[in-house]
Structure 1
């Protein structure tokens, strides 16, 4: 074997040894993506306005929905990980077998949902709703308010006609007199009262609604993205505290993002003043009230123990 060939082999062996000795390179772990469902950009406006989204250790993706029902459909299908909802829509989804749980609770003024009629309507209270057409969003807190109000007034559900519409269509039906009443929440409620000469027939503050809302997460997200969910909830709490102390700035930010009038948004926030509360026995009892009322009215066909639909490990209230 020639000297040149030997030298070439030695160089090749030395190179192979260096390759074997070199540290193995691994791809960086994929960055967690947290998919959050929002209603008309309200939550996003709050978090962006409060400036709490800097330095996120995960990627945040927003999905916007016109009401809780379609948001919960997406959550139930695991198309999003987390989303805001009222207590009644959450119950509806759980009753349908959705694998979702409430991870944070918020208390609002119960009068922020109401059954309204046009200003010249003869409707004056829940008892006057017998035989009327009422626009509601199926499975919403507005739907629950109708059920609770009729039950309190001694009126059976089959004594009224419920017209199931999403809020935008409900507004059109109400404005055109296609329905006699509309069960709705803010900001639609305030817009109707301040700009469309509507009046309140009855509202949730009459002992009819606990006034609870939730952030709910899919079970798979709870299992695989718990750290991101916990971080998002802490930031949400800080944003809610900021919004309570900075009503003007919050309303302005919401208006830019949603296109809704600043004065309506400011009035809505001052009236409802949402605040985080622990998921405790009072909250669970309030949700059980929703379940029992729906069952008694025949809206859901089985009695439900709501306790398993809560996950208290994320119940963070500073």
Structure 2
């Protein structure tokens, strides 16, 4: 799960300052009004570092907000839990919220990280005869259904003038995908970091393509349940402001963050640091461009009949 790109750096810097000021100014929760915030997290993510450091949790507890961490293998499973009231807040890639919004009206977009197009990739074995995207026709491609790389695959196929039906897709979780790729059971694997970096270093995988060049932004979205946001708006604002602080700490201390991430995912520190180097950091509100980009994903998935109905992203943006 990686987010990297310095596009719109000035915008994000200014927006971040305004966002944090707004969140801190709006926070007015009383110390005795205890609230529990259930946060979904994945190993190797920013939230995994934030959880391990403990600063975020202690800060929220001082404001009467208890934090409960719930681990998930990937974004789709996390948002399934959010839709049924199992968690209150989580961070996922671009695609899971589209599937979640198509299934329920409980999801709200409450923040976004800057684009990270090099944080996801389509990998092939180093010795593979697949040299171009066009060579993917008829090949077996593994990925986690409903995750950010689902959209990446669709866009890469479009770039090669191939249809979704021109390839043989296999839905696998990251751990199962790693094993299938390592054992030669699939021809290609579409995956995010840190798993992509691990495959490149440990399996000598070759990056056939990533999301660079306008293929996809690979945003990371902070999503909350509508019910929690309505009932505990001030607590949510305060939590997001603190996550923004912690995210920027990670960006400035990648070596230290890598030492936290590496044992979580069973990888050497250098691979964890490589993964973090593809990331971008900070949390801002969604602007019109981000909403429009997310709407294109939703429209694409509806056209491909991957979601059952057309959805309007703007109606799920928290203001």
**DSSP 3-state at the match of 1:279:** coil
- Note the C-alpha offset of 1:244: 1.2
Could you say which residue in structure 2 is the equivalent of 1:132?
139
How do 1:1-318 and structure 2 match up within 5 A?
Answer: 31-40=34-43, 42=45, 43-46=47-50, 48-49=52-53, 51-55=55-59, 56=61, 57-312=64-319
Query: Residue 220 of structure 2 aligns to a residue in which SS?
Result: strand
Secondary structure of 2:68's counterpart equals strand
Q: C-alpha root-mean-square deviation of aligned residues, in Å?
A: 1.9
Report Cα offsets for 1:248-271 as digits up to 9, x if no partner. 111112234444321112111112
Q: Secondary structure at the match of 1:54?
A: helix
Q: How far 1:168 moved relative to its partner?
A: 0.6
**Whole-Å Cα distance in 2 between the matches of residues 153 and 300 of structure 1?**
23
Closer, same or farther: CA 115–222 of 1 in aligned 2, 3 Å: same
* Equivalent-residue separation in structure 1 for 2:124 and 2:238 (angstroms): 42
Larger radius of gyration: 1
More deviation, 135-144/96-105: 96-105
Whole-angstrom distance in 1 between the partners of 2:265 and 2:140: 30
SS of residue matched to 2:113? strand
2:44 touches 2:265 (CA, 8 Å); kept in 1? Answer: yes
Q: Any unmatched runs of 5+ in structure 1?
A: 1-27, 313-318
Corresponding residue for residue 5 of structure 2: none
Partner of 2:19: none
Which ranges in structure 2 are unaligned for 5 or more consecutive residues? 1-30
C-alpha displacement at 1:155, in angstroms? 1.1
Q: Distance between the aligned counterparts of 1:180 and 1:173, measured in 2? A: 9
User: Aligned in 2, Cα 1:275/1:126: closer, same or farther, shift over 3 Å?
Assistant: farther
Task: Map Cα deviations across residues 49-107 of structure 1 (whole Å, 9 max, x no partner).
Answer: 38333242211000011110111111111111111111111111111224111101011
| Cα displacement (A) at 1:157 | 1.3
Q: Contact 1:110/1:204 (CA < 8 Å) preserved in 2? A: yes
Contact 2:198-2:267 at 8 Å conserved across structures: no
2:24 corresponding residue in structure 1: none
CA distance in 2, matches of 1:49, 1:213: 21
Tell me how far apart the structure 2 counterparts of residues 123 and 259 of structure 1 sit (CA, whole Å).
29
Structure 1 distance, partners of 2:76, 2:56, is 28
